[in-house]
Amino acid sequence: MTHHILILGGTTEARQLAGKLARRDDFSVRLSLAGRTESPVAQGVPVRVGGFGGADGLAAHLREEHIDLLIDATHPYAARISTNAAEAARQTDVPILALRRPGWEPVTGDRWTLVDNVTEAARALGTAPRRVFLAIGRQEAGAFEAAPQHRYLIRSVDPVEPELGVPDALYLLARGPFPEADERALLERYGIDAVVSKNSGGEATYGKVAAARALGIEVIMIRRPSLPDVPSTETVDALAAKVDHHFDPVAERGV
């Protein structure tokens, strides 16, 4: 019997999970990407690109494709997608599991200012001009037009279009991972005195946080949004084991 699994992805962990599950002959795995990245990396399994049309559209897709398990492995800040996934699972009675990457925690030496959203982050930079490293991607960069007095270094995977309506902004196109040593060199090269970051968790983009700590630079850290309460794990291996248990609970217990 073939079990049909849909993974809502866009993260490194989603790609890793898809590859791990696809090794089983009795799993048919498809990965769904929102399509916000123009040139996503190869995923290794069949991929669907684009939205579903909210929770109702996703629910219809789950029924039409006879999905047996829905996995939410989206970015920690993709709250709308996670909410729609939980609601679609409820509507269709399709089981749902989630991969919830742990967030970063401040340690001795960190200078974090915690805010709830990008609007608060722009205000937290203050009125005096600063040299700001904006490392939140391109989707919400426009919020910083409200603080045009700062000089911005903006890094994203895809171009920020249109560019910000501020007098001084430099754009870098790059895809992680970003090692701490490289991040420290970047911050020093541009004389950065404030970093704006989302609490993405994981190792791939932690380098800027560690580099800021080493250099005594303030980090405006945007808190994570609240996500639906669904069965979840923190790692790819743990979620893969949970999937195995879901479809073969007796074998998982070694009976």
* Domain count across the chain: 2
Pair 179, 122 in one domain: yes
Cα separation, 190 vs 208, in Å, equals 13
Strands 131-135 and 151-156, sheet pairing: parallel
Pair 118, 215 in one domain: yes
Helices 207-215, 180-189: inter-axial angle, 10-degree rounding = 50
Pair 232, 215 in one domain: no
Domain range for 83 is 3-102+226-253
Pair 157, 121 in one domain: yes
Selection from 59, 7, 61, 58 nearest residue 30 by Cα:
7
Pair 216, 233 in one domain: no
pLDDT single digits (tens) 215-235: 999 999 999 999 999 999 999
The pTM score is 0.88
Residue 107 lies in a domain: no
Task: Please identify every stretch of the chain with a pLDDT value under 70, giving residue numbers as ranges.
Answer: 36-43, 249-255
DSSP strands (E only) in the chain: 3-8, 27-33, 47-49, 69-72, 96-99, 112-115, 131-135, 151-156, 169-173, 194-198, 218-222, 232-233
Pair 150, 208 in one domain: yes
